[in-house]
Amino acid sequence: MAEYLIKNGFVFDPVLGIRGDAADIAIKDGKIVETSAVKSPKVIDAAGKTVMAGGVDIHAHVAGPKVNIGRNFRPEDKLFNCKPGHGIERMQGGFSVPTTIRTGYDYAHMGYTTVMEAAMPPLYARHTHEEMRDTPILDQGAYPVFGNNWFVLEYLKNHEIENTAAYIAWLLRATKGYAVKVVNPGGTEAWAWGLNCENIHDPVPYFDITPAQIVKGLIEANEYLGLPHSMHVHANNLGTPGNYQTTLDTFKLSEGIKPNSKFGRDQVMHHTHVQFHSYGGEGFNFESKAPEIMDYVNTHDNITIDLGCVTLDETTTMTADGPFEHHLTELNHLKWANADVELETAAGVVPFVYSANNKANAVQWCIGLELGLLAKDFMRVFLTTDHPNAGPFIRYPRIMKWLMSQEARDQQFDAFKHKDKVIEATNLAGMDRELDLYEIAQMTRAGPAKSLGLAHMYGGLAPGLDGDVAIFDFNPNEPYAPDDIEKAFGNARHLFKSGVQVISDHEIASNGNKRTLWVNAKVNENPQVMRDVKEKFLRYYTVTLNNYEVAGHHYVPNPYVIEVDATQ
Amino acid sequence: MTKTVTDVVCPFCGTLCDDLEVVVSDDGKDLLEVYNACAIGAEKFLHSQAKDRITRPRMRQEDGSWKEISYDEAAEYTARILADAKKPLMYGWSSTNCEAQSIGSEIGEAVGAVMDNTATVCHGTSLIAVQDIGIPSCTLGEVKNRADRILFWGCNPAHAHPRHMSRYSIFPRGFFTGKGHAGRKIIVVDPRVTDTAHVADVHLQIEQGHDYELLDAFRVAFKGEKLPDFVAGIPKEKIYEVAETLKSGRFAIIFFGMGVTQSIGKNHNIDAAIAVTRDLNEYTKAAIMPMRGHYNVTGSGQVWGWQFGFPFAVDLSRGFARYNPGETTSNDLLRRDEVDAVFVLGSDPGAHFPFSSVKKIYNLPSVAIDPHETPTTEVCKVHVPVAFVGVEVGGCAYRMDNVPIETRKVVDAPEGMMTDEEFLKRVFARVKAIKGV
Amino acid sequence: MTMAIRVNLITGRTIQQGVAMEAGKEKPAYTTACGIIELDPADFKKLGTFRSTNVRVTSNHGSVVVKAVEATQGPHPGVAYIPMGPWANMIVNPNTYSTGMPTFKGVPVEVDVAKNEPVLSSLELVRKGCRGELA
């Protein structure tokens, strides 16, 4: 493999603790190495440019059944944005739900190299893997959903942590999954009857268990196994004014639990797209409770969160929170797709237009940014849009601009139709904090990598880490306009993925060697769980047990398996 | 000695039963018996063993006779007609696996083809309706475990999806449906007294072609508003009664088929059926599902969805993906003479397109890739027989509820025969060479 | 004395059609399964002929000879049924009305007795049709 030496760039790297000093970064055999270790490298002149590790997205909906529902039922999402293939690039199309090909390229253009698919219905694992296979460049993994799974509900009703853990290990292997995802715990099972669970003590119909028991039990099972990532939750009551109390209640379920993982993470709960969960007030008088939420996050170091920033675009919402999507279609009267999945989960998909003319949407925009600006530790607070729910991922550079520039935020405030009411319901207008690129690198690289238990591979530029390096046309030491940030970080000049140059002078130069990450957790033999699995497949599933497991080269052609031993 | 292969997936219809057992000879060459399959599925497995099966590509001669050619010659011809055409039609893609579909997409991109699948004459209008109004749906296991109101509208699973009723919809006992059939109310809407109607509690023998009116009447009845005395030939009392039956259920499911997608009104009928389902969700839980025909027509819509963004009728001829049913759909293209070569794989338009379209195929450079001898192979210039997917080679297929299942290989294909995927790879290599990419 | 009748034609799957198709469309069983028109007893009466008589079915879009049999899933007076396949496709309405979907169901047709005309096999039918050799 070629050797590279990236010379004289302004490096921002939380792993090495470099805050914009000029430094050289060397790549050899797919890894970052000491500069002395390369003999005759290809030299990339990065003088006057910004150098960071490849970006890591901890939460995005980019592959799988509900994403494809979004693509197929929204031809209008492809209007005026299709791009012909050329050279090694295949045809691309789509805005809020881009084709897999575009997904890979657009992330690469932003300097991202690792993207986690945030919700994989286990029965549809093959579909998710086929889409990831056809997404170029990126390393990816997918989180199977557990929070409404009948096995989990039955085990945790009696607090059977060991059985839950054995089932998790089995399902991760069967689906080639990466982490334990929980979406609207219990509420999605209730949705199978058209109902919901509206707080953490609202019992699940028939199963006689509460969301609190599910979340706490899954944290414990996750730590029993010592998985790389923590339990990753989207709490009950998403999107409802006054829901911040449910969010705080959910946070508190992590109290007193310590991480048990060899993978270097410090949290036992990752709460995703917190913007959607930080609402006070009621009805149309809803308001920001970001300060209350961030007070909690800042003072409890065993949780991490991601923002879920609203980008004020027309987008396509999609979530395993089935009752929420039904609520949304009642609200905006746009088309609605729903897909309930036997014994496991559900999903809903509804287009949504976030408008600067709508007070509620503007308040949501403020809340997402407030969460970021109120954060004390950016190794625990990550930049996302819950793509495509609060906005498409291609807006990350715009969010960086808003986080880094009060001037940019003021411009947006001035564009709001109900500016005064928005300011009244939020706190953002009074905040003058401007994040720097070091903090951005924590939020988009080192932080998510650590939370995922992948700090030994991604998120930094220390020798031994994967050769994932992005170079942007941005000189932090010269005056710049806010829009320069968005422009530079949306269009990397060069990008290296595992030591391969995938972008050269802004052009896609290689489709890379994408890998699929999954976790193989070994547990002691558990005859009861295996008997339960057999019985459920015999009686309730519509596929046989032998046809359930994802196996075969055509689903996971280039696996990267992370082994976990929980037999002790 | 023989051996039994279990958990075999049936490559016939969208029901995609995965519990077949197939007995094969010890050397894995002969398929002897098939258990658990319906009559059609069993025939599909057994026919692969036909002694008169065509095992080598052949080309039509001037005098109308066939001449055997090699797979290389067939690949060359296929690559050549695709590369030479301005706007070739690559049609079918429903009786093959997702891996072949995927390579087909790449060929389509390289030659600027129009990609269309059998949804175009099946549930294409349903896909259009979903783009208008969405679709609240579920997996078939939700039906098995929860549904107590089953409505079949313009579909006849007793004939078209023979094991659907026993595996998923009418008879099975599931988690919340321990009484099986006895706990469910079955409603059939069909202009004929179909064999499915015979198992129903209520059969509404609708006047053919008046589905939209009756569906709308249900929406009126849900709200308790006034109806005329008869709608689509059904007395209003009956409509109010059935509306009440649906509303009073815990979980209602509507299955619909060609009766609504192919009758006049087309996608608008489906719009109305989905609106009925949306309305029902105000009162209880309800879902709706198209009864997809070919075992993997759903899969080709998925593959094109993630690669191009559209589930059928994808026109790649301008270098990027375009979609405009009525313009980029196979029958419209053929009837208007807008394509200049025809490639068919995994379907039989010769039998299932209106004859005016078939005649157009006959007059164009054309190739049919199909294990069977069919009316399509009869009108095409080259016929490339291939291994049966799901019998002689595995691969991914998507069930009618979009659940992907890996089909199984149970016996070897006859010596020297290629699979769809292998043949397409060879064609792609030739296309790249011709196009210089 | 027989006289032509007008009926509303629909097409679709039958299990016999499915089995015969998988067994081979070139085989006689496929013609037996699909080269037919199912008529209601009331329509047979109007047509004034016996079951299993060959009839010519004609629409605005074409014409085909099939064997008339009694409806298996009736009664459905005024509605006739030809299983999906090349025979039905000689006479269905190919117009898609900008949906891509030909109008396979609900085609007005005329049925007339054609005792002496043969029902062609599927391959013969399309071949002759393409070559313009059909009557």
Rounded to a whole number of angstroms, the distance from the CA of A458 to the nearest CA of chain B is 27
- Residue written as token pair 């039609």: B89
Residue B51 banded pLDDT, cuts 50, 70, 90: confident
Indicate yes or no: CB of C129 within 8 angstroms of CB of B355.
yes
Supply angle C-alpha B214, B217, B220, rounded to 5.
165
Does A498 map to a domain? no
Does A513 map to a domain? no
Indicate yes or no: CB of B305 within 8 angstroms of CB of A123.
no
Same domain, B175 and B252: yes
CATH number at residue B154: 3.40.228.10
The pair of structure tokens assigned to A171 is: 């399902």
The pair of structure tokens assigned to B107 is: 């060929």
Indicate yes or no: CB of B359 within 8 angstroms of CB of C12.
no
Q: For residues B176 and A539, what is the distance between their CA atoms, to the nearest angstrom?
A: 11
CB-count exposure of residue A478 (10 Å: 0-12, 13-18, 19+) = exposed
Same domain, B304 and B209: no
Query: In whole angstroms, what separates CA B161 from the centre of its chain?
Result: 11
Does A357 map to a domain? yes
Indicate yes or no: CB of C24 within 8 angstroms of CB of B192.
no
Chains near C with 3+ CB pairs less than 8 A apart are B
Q: Which residue of A has its CA nearest to B131?
A: A73
**What domains can you pick out in chain C, each with its CATH number?**
5-130 (2.40.40.20)
Indicate yes or no: CB of A544 within 8 angstroms of CB of B7.
yes
Residues in A closer than 8 angstroms to B301, CB to CB, are: 72
Indicate yes or no: CB of B306 within 8 angstroms of CB of A99.
yes
Residues B113-127 have pLDDT tens digits of: 999 999 999 999 999
Indicate yes or no: CB of C105 within 8 angstroms of CB of B259.
yes
Q: Report whether the peptide linkage leading into residue A388 is cis, meaning its omega lies within 30 degrees of zero.
A: yes
Task: Provide the domain limits for residue A151.
Answer: 116-451
CB pairs under 8 A between B and C: 188
Residue C1 banded pLDDT, cuts 50, 70, 90: low
Task: Provide the domain limits for residue B35.
Answer: 2-47
C21, C23, C106 ranked by CB distance to B263: nearest? C106
Indicate yes or no: CB of B139 within 8 angstroms of CB of A339.
yes
The secondary structure element, H or E, covering residue A115 is strand A112-120
Question: A67, A54, A56, A61: which is closest to A390 by C-alpha?
Answer: A61
Below-50 pLDDT ranges, chain A: none
The count of residues in chain B is: 437
A134, A192, A539 ranked by CB distance to B307: nearest? A134
Q: Which residue of B has its CA nearest to A191?
A: B285
Same domain, B147 and B190: yes
User: What distance separates the 2 farthest-apart alpha carbons in chain B?
Assistant: 69
CATH number at residue B109: 3.40.50.740
Q: Provide the pLDDT for residue B436.
A: 86
Same domain, B113 and B219: no
Indicate yes or no: CB of B138 within 8 angstroms of CB of A338.
yes
Q: Provide the pLDDT for residue B437.
A: 79
Indicate yes or no: CB of C126 within 8 angstroms of CB of B358.
yes
Same domain, B62 and B160: no
Q: Which residue of B has its CA nearest to A88?
A: B437
Does A564 map to a domain? no
Same domain, B157 and B277: yes
Residues in A closer than 8 angstroms to B403, CB to CB, are: 123-124, 542-543
Q: For residues A418 and A412, what is the distance between their CA atoms, to the nearest angstrom?
A: 12
Does A126 map to a domain? yes
Residues in B closer than 8 angstroms to C93, CB to CB, are: 354
Q: Domain total for chain A?
A: 1
C13, C89, C103 ranked by CB distance to B353: nearest? C89
B145, B281, B307 ranked by CB distance to A101: nearest? B307
Indicate yes or no: CB of C25 within 8 angstroms of CB of B160.
no
Does B65 map to a domain? yes
Does B360 map to a domain? yes
Average pLDDT, chain B: 97
Q: Domain total for chain B?
A: 3
Give B151's strand partners.
B187, B254
Residues in C closer than 8 angstroms to B121, CB to CB, are: 101-102, 104
Does A353 map to a domain? yes
Rounded to a whole number of angstroms, the distance from the CA of A454 to the nearest CA of chain B is 28
Same domain, B259 and B305: no
Question: B65, B56, B99, B7: which is closest to B307 by C-alpha?
Answer: B99
Q: For residues B404 and A465, what is the distance between their CA atoms, to the nearest angstrom?
A: 36
Residues in A closer than 8 angstroms to B285, CB to CB, are: 192-194
Contact A550, A176 (CB under 8 A): yes
Q: For residues A336 and A351, what is the distance between their CA atoms, to the nearest angstrom?
A: 8
Q: For residues A542 and B167, what is the distance between their CA atoms, to the nearest angstrom?
A: 8
Rounded to a whole number of angstroms, the distance from the CA of B194 to the nearest CA of chain C is 5
Does B280 map to a domain? yes
Residue B50 banded pLDDT, cuts 50, 70, 90: confident
Q: Provide the pLDDT for residue A317.
A: 98
Does B52 map to a domain? no
Rounded to a whole number of angstroms, the distance from the CA of B55 to the nearest CA of chain A is 27
10 Å Cβ neighbour count for A535? 11
Its pTM surpasses 0.90 = yes
Residues B301-332 have pLDDT tens digits of: 999 999 999 999 999 999 999 999 999 999 99
Indicate yes or no: CB of C12 within 8 angstroms of CB of B39.
no
Rounded to a whole number of angstroms, the distance from the CA of C39 to the nearest CA of chain B is 11
Q: Provide the pLDDT for residue B287.
A: 98
Contact A541, A342 (CB under 8 A): yes
